[in-house]
Structure 1
Amino acid sequence: MYADLQGLQGPKRDTDEAVRARMKRQAWLYEGGRKFHALVWEVDDTDSVATYLKV
């Protein structure tokens, strides 16, 4: 997909370099000793996001 969109964003970019940069940024995700906590918010049919945001 990245290669297909290159022409739309101006000068041609180096896909391999982009992948290397992304892998470098994400390397800390694969190091041991970390815990991740996720908070998932679900709105049911009777609620709306506007109600919670006071919009």
Structure 2
Amino acid sequence: MGWVYELDISSDKFIRTIDLSDPKHESIVKEFYSRVLANGDICIYMKEFIVSTVRSI
């Protein structure tokens, strides 16, 4: 699992994806995708979809 270290990620927070209305889940998802987009880790067509999805949350 070397990629975990390369991506500097951890599993220290657990939120059930069924709890989509949970404000904590929403803020973590927004932060995650903001960082992913800022780093250029998503190709263009996915970027447009995710940006519009995150803005609508």
Q: Same fold (TM over 0.5)?
A: no
**Where is the helix percentage greater, Structure 1 or Structure 2?**
2
Q: Which has the higher contact order (CA 8 A, sep 6+)?
A: 2
TM-score by length of 2: 0.30
> Rg larger in 1 or in 2?
1
